[in-house]
């Protein structure tokens, strides 16, 4: 029995588990991997983010930018399901004024985020999109990895 076009498309959808990922960095809060064949940096935030302080959050974000640029990535995939850190308005401004321009300079084409499960963290991440510089970056939110990877492939 021939495979329908819909089934063929479903079969072509890949998850990150099908790629070779090289771990670049790991802390108690986040792990970063590079998927060279996709020019993609994958960041997986951990539940311990609830215990982060502002300096630790800033340091982790700076490390993410460093790894993105150093590995010539063009796509960023942030698995934020376990992200539990409430981003303050001051930190949101810092992300908009410092982090996003650095991502733009580094050549970001797309940024896929998996929504945090924790409500306050969801609000913090949503507010980031309302900042001025976030409008210059192609950022999309997803509830599943499959949807995010499909969009990153487009």
pLDDT digits (tens, 9 = 90+) for 89-130: 899 889 888 998 999 999 999 999 998 765 555 555 555 555
How large is the average pLDDT for residues 9-16? 54
Element (H, E) at 66: helix 54-70
Within a domain: 8? no
When divided into structural domains, the chain yields a total of: 1
Give pLDDT, residue 96: 85
How large is the average pLDDT for residues 135-148? 85
Give pLDDT, residue 109: 95
Within a domain: 120? yes
What CATH code is carried by the domain that includes residue 142?
3.30.750
pTM: 0.82
Any idea what DSSP says for residue 143?
S
Q: Does the pLDDT at position 13 exceed 70? A: no
* CA dist., res. 56 & res. 62, Å (int): 10
For tokens 């990922």, name the residue: 21
Instruction: Output the CA–CA distances (angstroms, integers) from residue 36 to 23, 78, 108, 140, in the order listed.
Output: 11, 16, 15, 21
Within a domain: 110? yes
Within a domain: 73? yes
Q: Which residues pair with 75 in a beta bridge?
A: 40, 110
Which are the contacts of 128, defined by CB distance < 8 A and separation ≥ 6? Answer: 87, 92, 95, 96, 134
């Amino acid at each position: 029995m021939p495979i329908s076009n819909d089934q063929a498309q479903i079969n072509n959808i890949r998850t990150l588990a099908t790629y070779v990922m090289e771990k670049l960095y790991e802390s108690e809060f986040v792990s970063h991997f590079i998927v060279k064949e996709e020019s993609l940096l994958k960041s997986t935030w951990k539940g311990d983010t609830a215990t982060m302080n502002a300096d630790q959050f800033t340091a982790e974000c700076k490390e993410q930018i460093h790894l993105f640029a150093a590995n010539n990535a063009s796509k960023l995939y942030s698995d934020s399901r376990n992200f539990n850190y409430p981003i303050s308005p001051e930190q949101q401004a810092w992300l908009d004024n410092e982090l996003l321009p650095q991502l733009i300079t580094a050549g970001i084409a797309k940024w896929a985020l998996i929504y945090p499960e924790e409500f306050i963290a969801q609000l913090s991440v949503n507010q980031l999109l309302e900042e001025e510089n976030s409008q210059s970056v192609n950022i999309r939110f997803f509830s599943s990895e499959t949807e995010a990877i499909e969009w990153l492939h487009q």
